[in-house]
Amino acid sequence: MDKGQFGIFISYRRADAAGYAGALKYCLQQRFPDAQVFRDFETIAAGRDFVDEIERGIRNADAVVCLIGQRWNHAADGIARLEQPDDHVAAEVAAALEKVKTVIPVLLEDTLMPAPQELPERVRKITGLNAAKLRDSEFEEDFEALATSLEQVRAGKGAKKLTGGEIVERFAAGEGAPDWVGRGGGLTGKAFKDDVATGSWKTQEYEVQFGGQLPSKNWFPAGQFVEKVKGAPT
């Protein structure tokens, strides 16, 4: 995914949502032709590590769309699939809830959002998020509502915020790192100096920009941010 490109990650369980995922990806590509829409087997090249590619896709996404069908949590024999330690859907959702600003649960057909107590703790937060719907009989209407929500996410991408910890993680991974970081007073201002001295830099949210010129004197290269916080308290 190109740095600064709008990214949408589709999380789904193939057993009950593969058809919806395929249709959704096609429609999203038509609606957002300049975006990167990630759908596992169509996006991951042969020979690449599946888990690593999924983690990279989520890390670089601006929005994660989680398709929830009747078998999202329970298999035909009643096994709670999200409870399994190696369940890739649970891992995707947990990573999305931790790293991505916008996570949109999408309930397929007449599926209801599971109760919080039905889900493992690492994905339980999804039950508190406002859900969209996707129904075959109302597909165009439902897709339009979902696309409108994603357009709002894209509109705010230019003024994106990341915590200091997220900035450092992206530099370490070598992907998805911003070019500029904004903080009142810039690199030598009191606000940023206090962040570094107190260790609050890791959870402090900073305005970030991908590409372009230095916005103002309150901004500085993200690489300098990483250098300044290296070895600082956390």
Where does the pLDDT of residue 63 fall: very low under 50, low under 70, confident under 90, or very high at 90 and above? very high
Where does the pLDDT of residue 158 fall: very low under 50, low under 70, confident under 90, or very high at 90 and above? low
The SS3 call for residue 80 is strand
| pLDDT surpasses 50 at 67 | yes
Distance, in Å, from the CA atom of 44 to the CA atom of 47, rounded to the nearest integer, reads: 9
Report the pLDDT averaged over residues 142-160: 82
pLDDT at 77: 74
Report the pLDDT averaged over residues 161-170: 93
| pLDDT surpasses 90 at 143 | yes
Mean pLDDT score of the chain, rounded to an integer?
A: 87
pLDDT at 4: 59
Distance, in Å, from the CA atom of 104 to the CA atom of 100, rounded to the nearest integer, reads: 10
| pLDDT surpasses 50 at 1 | no
- The structure tokens listed for 138 are 């109302």
What are the pLDDT digits (tens) for 111-129? Answer: 999 999 999 999 999 999 9
pLDDT at 161: 84
pLDDT greater at residue 56 or residue 170: 170
| pLDDT surpasses 90 at 140 | yes
Residue with tokens 């969209």: 132
Distance, in Å, from the CA atom of 22 to the CA atom of 39, rounded to the nearest integer, reads: 8
Where does the pLDDT of residue 39 fall: very low under 50, low under 70, confident under 90, or very high at 90 and above? confident
Report the pLDDT averaged over residues 7-11: 93
Report the pLDDT averaged over residues 134-160: 86
Q: Which amino acid is at 136?
A: D
| pLDDT surpasses 80 at 46 | no
For residue 173, how many other CB atoms are within 10 A of its CB? 13
74 secondary structure, DSSP code: B
Maximum separation of any 2 CA atoms in the chain, in Å: 61
Cβ-based neighbours of 165, under 8 Å, separated by 6 or more: 202, 203
| pLDDT surpasses 80 at 89 | yes
Beta-sheet strands, E only, within the chain: 7-11, 36-38, 63-68, 102-108, 132-134, 161-163, 180-182, 205-209, 219-221
What are the pLDDT digits (tens) for 181-219? Answer: 999 899 999 999 999 999 999 999 998 887 767 777 889
